Chain A
Amino acid sequence: EVQLVESGGGLVKPGGSLRLSCAASGFTFSRYSMNWVRQAPGKGLEWVSSISSGSSYIYYADSLKGRFTISRDNAKNSLYLQMNSLRAEDTAVYYCARAVDTAMVSYDYWGQGTLVTVSS
């Protein structure tokens, strides 16, 4: 059974940092591109970042302005999102999702999300 389990969310002060993890199981992690999508409270979905299976291709939303870094460890079946210089507007549920296409837009499995709250 495919499972994606996010962790690492929590309360952080503005300007702080947080590292999210997504533990994958039930499939050959190294064969799939992975993605982060977030959803602010009561708002719509927002694409954050995508990384190809071998980390050769990495993409970010322009709105992040270089504050976030996506990475993966195929040996550990894990996806990461390092978030720095956090702002109140980064408050959201962060989902990891598996992509099944080369364009990295077709997501067949999602985690249940981890909540990040940026507040003083």
Chain B
Amino acid sequence: DTAVSQTPKYLVTQMGNDKSIKCEQNLGHDTMYWYKQDSKKFLKIMFSYNNKELIINETVPNRFSPKSPDKAHLNLHINSLELGDSAVYFCASSQQVGGSSQYFGPGTRLTVT
């Protein structure tokens, strides 16, 4: 049983393209997140949704657009990809907002050439 899953695991694409990453959790959690891990392993919050509502947007460029069709799914669409978008993107979920354990998906390694 995979608690938090992401697809695809790897994504290689050219600059200027548009791509999407999908995330699903079967833990019954209310809150989901997107984090970016750069080449130096630094993990940074991008977005958070609680019950399909956006609650955190960490000044991410508007080329990044998250969407939560229901509380078990959180997708990330990226327009006009740039070289600097190359990173590992992790989805995570927690039971509720604030002080609640977060569980990460396996990550999507995005390479922009």
Tell me, yes or no, whether A binds B: no
Interface residues of chain A, those whose CB is within 8 Å of chain B, are none
Interface residues of chain B, those whose CB is within 8 Å of chain A, are none
